[in-house]
Amino acid sequence: MSQQNKALEAEKQFSQDFIAFAVKKEVLRFGEFKTKAGRSSPYFFNAGLFNDGESLMKLGEFYAAAIQNSGIAFDMLFGPAYKGITLVASIAIAFAKNGHNIPYAYNRKETKDHGEGGVIVGSPLKGRVLIIDDVISAGTSVRESVELIKVNGAKACGVAIAIDRQEKGLGELSAVQEVMQQQQLPVCAIATLTDLLNYLQDKPELAQYLHAVQRYRQQYGVITSN
């Protein structure tokens, strides 16, 4: 097996391990859920349910590995409130465990007018800033983060998410593709809808969900390079 094929196999296994982890923690659930776009989805991913120390530690490690594999060059991390706060802290810790001490920051929803004041908490925004989020739905959080980073004299250099749903956004492109096109930013994900389908295909006990997810992709899916 060539080095390239080995790398692809390792990446595939990495994504499968993450999905298995998310299913075990019931962060990734199957059934009927309504998305922000008003669609009836057969699966739902809620990163807020990584709600204990061990799972948050592992989540940070998955993110850090995906970011490193992406090759995106960055100087610091930024997590938009609220979910992004715990995500960005866990990722910074994961990098530090591997010998990379990376600064991070997050924002307040409202400006603080006492104490240190301001909107940004943590390291001052500077250099190339990598935005951290759980998923990209309408891209609103990314757009707001890009503007906030710019206002503070830094430059957004990319976005890292947990799951790329690979489905249509406002038009024919996926929400992730829209962000990449409109903001001119690379986006990396720990796993994609394709990875989820591969996982379900290997689980006979989840066959009923496999068919539902396949139908959903046929209706709303977008072909991506991932």
The closest of 51, 29, 57, 73 to 163, measured between CA atoms, is 29
Sign, Cα dihedral of 11, 13, 18, 22: positive
Give how far the C-alpha of residue 180 lies from the chain's centroid of Cα atoms, to the nearest Å.
14
Residue with tokens 């943590």: 122
**Is residue 112 flagged as an active site residue?**
yes
Active-site residue 12, yes or no? no
> Which residue from 156, 166, 98, 91 is spatially nearest to 127, judged by alpha carbons?
156
Q: DSSP secondary structure string, 70-106?
A: HT---SEEEE-TTHHHHHHHHHHHHHHHTT----EEE
* CA-to-CA dists, residue 199 to 13, 62, 104, 116, 150, angstroms: 10, 17, 33, 47, 39
Dist. CA 111–CA 10, nearest whole Å: 44
Closest CA to 181 of 219, 143, 129: 143
From the candidates 112, 150, 155, 203, give the one annotated as an active-site residue. 112
Residue 88 contacts residue 79 (beta carbons within 8 Å): yes
Catalytic residues: 112, 114
